[in-house]
Amino acid sequence: MEVAAAFRWQAEACARLGSPMYGELLHRVADAVAEGDPVVRAVLAGHEQDPGPSALALRLAGSVHRVVLRGRAPALAHHYPSTGGRWELAAAWPAWREVLRQHQAEITELLRQPPQTNEVGRAAALMGGLLHVVAATGRPVRLLEIGASAGLNLRADRFRYDHADPAGAGWGPPDSPVRLPGAWAGSPPPDVDVDVVERTGVDIAPLDPTTEEGRLTLQSYVWPDQAERLARLRGALAVARDVPAPVHRRDALSAVRALALREGTVTVLWHSVMWQYLSAEERAGVETEIAALGDRASAAAPFAHLRLEPLQRTPGEDREFLVLLRQWPEGEQRVLGRAVPHGVPVRWE
Ligand SMILES: C[S@@+](CC[C@H](N)C(=O)[O-])C[C@H]1O[C@@H](n2cnc3c(N)ncnc32)[C@H](O)[C@@H]1O
């Protein structure tokens, strides 16, 4: 797809997925590309053949957002909702273009990175599933997350989930910096106490949420007019300061292969929206290792596989963001509920 068309496609997707700001902005960038704007063309030079899935438009928008969040573009910050500004395309465009001109070298460098996000809303699905695991086993929890990004959701037990109906019900510390109003609907997960004794993540491109760089990267790829997503993320970054959860640079298969069960605890392998990035061999390898862990599990050392992934319930059906749980030593796989791409709300079945 040629560059202007790719930006228009992304603009439509952003508008549909809740960012009117990027809907307008990316159309404006597409116009600039089509008009041969020298500033825009200079920044995008060399990317004319980038494949669609590499999301050039989101990389560019995220790079400019990063400059804004770092406080290096005060005139543009005035127009970005993520820095307290008010978006209006006609007023913002000259400042946006000026940031491309002034920060061309930095933005060219940033464009090499793939967008990297960690969706805190998905904790609503994972945590609800974990409550089922704890209700069934009564054991302290060891968590391993594959494709964990910054590992924010490894602190899911420190977030607050409010049930939409009945209103007022929910789970988690009411004073948590992460509050997910209307996170759950349908049949509520069991209301049990959870003791997480180990939290470990792996990712091929991990981010460290305890560093300024890591925090900036995570925020820069959130669309600036999505106030709820940003608030959740910023809350989770605050929790991450107090609750350690290392994320190691490691691929999913080797991490699951190295996983051992421990008596007196339940070992939980969980993941969200990462399965599609694995090769067919890696997926098959992870499934084999999970089956082997299941065979080794016992009442004293149980094991659970919990996931939120876009999957089909049966072949031929549309994909849904399903919350799936399988527990060993016994237990069939169950669909616990379904969510939306960014997690909330989750409807429990
Ligand atoms: C869309 S992100 C989701 C991150 C996080 N699970 C969430 O829901 O916010 C997918 C993540 O999978 C990671 N990833 C991709 N391939 C991987 C692999 N083979 N092993 C481990 N992590 C992988 C990426 O680096 C990225 O952090």
Output the residue whose Cα is nearest ligand 1's atom 18: 251
The one-character DSSP state at 274 is -
% of residues, the chain, pLDDT over 70: 100
Residue 331: the pLDDT is: 80
The DSSP bridge partners found for residue 304 are: 268, 327
Q: Is the pLDDT of residue 5 over 90?
A: yes
DSSP per position, 25-62: HHHHHHHHHHHT-HHHHHHHTT-TT--GGG-HHHHHHH
Give me the torsion for CA of 274, 334, 332, 314, rounded to 10°: -80
> Which pLDDT value is given to residue 28?
98
* d(C-alpha 287, C-alpha 204), whole Å: 19
Query: Quick one: pLDDT at residue 332?
Result: 87
CA distance 51 to 272: 24
Q: How far is the CA of 149 from the centre of ligand 1 (A)?
A: 6
Q: Per-residue pLDDT tens for 249-300?
A: 999 999 999 999 999 999 999 999 999 999 999 999 999 999 999 999 999 9
Task: Write the pLDDT tens digit of every residue in 201-213.
Answer: 999 999 999 999 9
* Mean pLDDT, rounded, for 298-321: 95
CA-closest candidate to residue 126, choices 183, 208, 164: 183
Average pLDDT score over the chain: 96
pTM (2 d.p.): 0.95
Give residue 252 CA to ligand 1 midpoint distance, Å: 9
Enter the DSSP assignment of 120.
G
Q: Give yes or no for residue 63 CB within 6 A of ligand 1.
A: no
Please name the residue that has the structure tokens 């019900």.
169
Q: Determine how many CB atoms are found less than 10 A away from the CB of residue 216.
A: 15
Report how far residue 142's alpha carbon sits from residue 133's, in angstroms, rounded to the nearest whole number. Answer: 12
The predicted pLDDT at position 1 comes to 64
